[in-house]
Every structure is written in C-alpha cells, then in structure tokens.
Amino acid sequence: METPEQIRDRLLARFPDATVTVVANPGPAAQHSLLVDPARAVEIATFLRDDPALRLDFCSNVTGLDWPEREVVETIRKTVPLSPATGAADASPASPAVESATPIVEEKVKRLQPGYLEVVYHLYSMALKHGPVILRLRTGNRTDQVSLPSLTPVWRSCEFQEREVFDLFGVAFRGHPDLRRILMWDEFRDHPMRKDYAEPDDYEWEPTPHETVLAKARAHYSSPAPDAPAAQSP
Amino acid sequence: MSDAAAPIPPEPAPRAQPAPAGGPHPPAISSAERDELRRQGILLTSLEELYNWGRSNSVWPLQFGLACCAIEMIAASMARFDIARFGSEVFRPSPRQADLLIVSGTVTKKMAPQVVRLWNQMPEPKYCIAMGACAISGGPFKQGYNVLKGIDRFIPVDIYIPGCPPRPEALLHGLIALQKKIRGQTLSGPAAPRHLRAETACTYPVPAFGEHDLLPPKNPAVWQPPSLERTD
C-alpha cells in the first residue's frame, strides 16, 4: 500500500485547492495519519473509496478526540544582530578567534494554542486487503464551530459511530441522515467525553477513597477527612 | 405447635400451657411462638405457615436480564444448576405475572426508569434481588457518569448477592435466603410485609431524564447516602 505521504501527494494533485497534511505518529506503531481539510472532506473520502489503487471500501472505526486550549512553550533560536561596537567589546576579551559569528539566542515563547475537536476515521480495503489509512478532521474550536461534514454518505458504517461522537464529544455532523444521541438520553445536555465535563455530584461514602475520589470524599464527608492524613503520617 | 393448646379457644388468644420448668422434656413451644399464638390465634398462624410455604416455593422471577450477570442467571435456570429445584423455574415474560425482580447487571441511568417502571408493574407481594456488584453499588462503573450507583436508590431491595458476576450457586443461595425471608413474614402485626400494611405505597416514583442526571437522582424514601459517625 502507498505510504501516507504518497497518498497525500496524489490527493494534492487531484484536489489542488485542498489542504492535506500528514500527522506523524512518533510511537512504535508509526501509524501516520492524514489531516484533511473539512471543506473538501467528502470529495476526498469518495476519492479514497473509489480510487482503483486504494479502494478503501470499509470504515472500521470512527472516534473522537478533545484537545482543550493549552499553553505551548516553544523554543525559538534566532540570531541577534549586534552593533559592531558592542559586539567587538563583548567578543574580544573572551573569544578573540570567533569574530564573525553572530550570537544565537534561544528564546522561549509561550503561545496559547486554541482548542479543537478531532474526529478520526480508520479506513481499510476489503477488496485489496490493506489498511489502515487514517483520516483526521478538525473543528474550528470547541464551542461554536463544531460542525464537520459527515462521511456517512461515503461509508455507511460511520452512521452509529458518528452519532456516538456527536453524543459524547458534541461534534455536529453536516449531512448525517439521523443525527441523534445514541448512548445518553435525548434530554441530556452535556458531552461526557470532553475534558471539561463535570459529572453529576452523586458521590457516596467509600471505604478506600484515593486521588479524585478522596477529594470528593473530603467535600462530602468533611468530618473524618482532615484527620485521615494525620493518622497515616507517623 | 397445635398440640400445645388442645381446645380451640375463642379468637383473641389461646392460653398456652407453660412447660414444666426443669423437667426432662424441652418446652413444647418457645416463648416467641407463644406470643405469636396469642396475637394471631391458631387458625391464622397455621394459615400463615401454609400461605408462606406456598409462596416461598413458587417464586416466579421476571425474565429480565441487564448484563453479564444475566448469563449466570440463565445458567442457574438451566439443567446443570436447575433453579427448578427451588420452584423458581418459571421465568415470566410479563411483570404482571412475576413475583421476583432479579436486577441482574449494570443499571445505566438510561435504563433505570424502565427498571422502576417494571417494578411498579409487578403485583404485590413482590421481591427484588440485586445481583452482582453493579446492581448493588455501580460496581466497577461507580465512578462513571452514566451508571446508577445501586438500584436500591429507587426500589427496595430484599436480597443483595455480591460477586462480579455471582456464580449460579450464589444466586441459588440468595434465592434460598429470600425463601427464608418469605417464610418469616407474618400476616398481621408490625412485622407484616409492605403489601399488607395500608399506609405504604407499593408503587415508586419513576425518575425522569434530566439535562445532567436523573430527576430525582435518588428516592429519599427508599435510600439515604451513608453517614459517617465518629465513635472515639
């Protein structure tokens, strides 16, 4: 089977205005995936299904990911141009030999990476017995731009799994034939698999609370909890 | 029991003959039995024994399975474990004909209203067995968002069978414990079961689907969260 890079090059040749990038998987599995532009996703999916060299006729798995907003620290190396006077004054006592090199300064930049939701499709070919090819689609953000094109018209097996992603992550699939909640009830308003989901507060006492359960135990049963660490410590 | 008071007395209380103290023979009836005879009379006591004997040996469960515990329940009903030895082989497909609700498995919050509705549809006298860790407390899913943390939050449970899942022998043990409980029930008095007391409701409120959880998340008349008390 073709590598993801080859598939990306063929897709870019076929759809010049689409953006397709390869997302590398650094783990030992090395299952690199294709990040696809949502605007052309249905056409790209149809091409992957019908292309005679690929014939990815089976979508085995659809899943979701929640990437909340996070702070990324990037190290940027940049050269700092110095004025000749100060540069000569700094450089001459320490290292007279290196006079031509401009100093390289490493600068740490904090950047707020906006959050988004991601949907991952695992595609296989029953006819040619190869796979998987992994597609990723990303939403604009996590609040109001959570719409993505549905690939159910291309692979019928996506229907229930896209409903599950809609239910648990809140991705609204455009063009899905029957977009309802599948696991939780219809009146439910939350999306439980999102990182910021707050579950209903129905804790009850447990004999061995730990970690997050211990925090809940302290909130609900305040009287024994403050003594518990003191009793354990010698 | 009946030979203790030979003539059948008029209703309120038979006068039992006290056993000779220190004699070689033990007393014919115990003091608890004598009290019960005083309260109910011979006729009602004998009827109660017969009635409870009949009920306890034909406990018909509802044909209702929720998760992997249901597989063990099915195994208990098959020839190898043979729940028919205890008179409970008739799994009724309708709650109107069932005496026993075996909550066999994980009760999700989406399923909980249907379980309570089935319980309400069963006629009294009815009994409930919580089978397995999930039905008792939520089990391994207790910290999750979608599983009810024990069916006893909504309906009264008579027998709890721990296990994940319990073996068919454990289910049979629970059934025998339930039979003992049924045989101990009186027809009158303060210890009478729920359906013979006028003031108790035999139907329980069905929770509604809320925006974040079931509404209400528990039935306070049936279940209260455990409270911790310092003893030192």
pLDDT digits (tens, 9 = 90+) for A92-113: 455 555 555 677 888 888 888 8
Q: Domains, chain A, ranges and CATH?
A: 4-69+115-174 (3.30.460.80), 71-112 (no CATH), 203-234 (no CATH)
Q: How far B151 CA lies from chain A's nearest CA (Å)?
A: 14
pLDDT digits (tens, 9 = 90+) for B2-47: 444 444 444 444 444 554 455 566 677 788 877 777 766 777 778 8
Residue B225 lies in a domain: no
Q: How far A192 CA lies from chain B's nearest CA (Å)?
A: 8
B225·A183 Cβ contact <8 A:
no
Q: Is the pTM of this model over 0.90?
A: no
Residue B148 lies in a domain: yes
Mean pLDDT of chain A: 85
Helix axes B68-77, B168-183, angle to 10 degrees: 70
Q: What is the CATH number of the domain that holds B118?
A: 3.40.50.12280
- Taking alpha carbons only, the member of A201, A170, A174 closest to residue A183 is A170
Q: Name every chain B residue with its beta carbon within 8 A of the beta carbon of A191.
A: none
Alpha carbons A41 and B65: distance in angstroms, whole number: 43
DSSP conformational letter for B219 = -
pLDDT digits (tens, 9 = 90+) for A132-177: 999 999 999 888 899 999 999 999 999 999 999 999 999 999 999 9
pLDDT digits (tens, 9 = 90+) for B114-172: 999 999 999 988 999 999 999 999 999 988 889 999 999 999 999 999 999 999 999 99
Alpha carbons B133 and A97: distance in angstroms, whole number: 77
For chain B, helix, strand, coil in percent to 5 are: 40, 10, 55
* Residue A101, pLDDT score: 64
Residue B119 lies in a domain: yes
A205·B230 Cβ contact <8 A:
no
Q: Name every chain B residue with its beta carbon within 8 A of the beta carbon of A202.
A: 149, 213, 217-218
Residue B116 lies in a domain: yes
Residue B115 lies in a domain: yes
- The total number of structural domains in chain B stands at 1
A202·B218 Cβ contact <8 A:
yes
Suggest the residue from B153, B212, B215 to mutate for an interface test with chain A (most A CBs closer than 10 A): B212
Residues A8-19: what's their mean pLDDT? Answer: 92
- B142, B145, B230 member nearest A224 (Cβ): B230
Residue B43 lies in a domain: no
B212 touches chain A (CB under 8 A): yes
- Taking alpha carbons only, the member of B223, B106, B95, B208 closest to residue B156 is B223
Residue B59 lies in a domain: no
- Domain ranges, residue B102: 68-186
B126 touches chain A (CB under 8 A): no
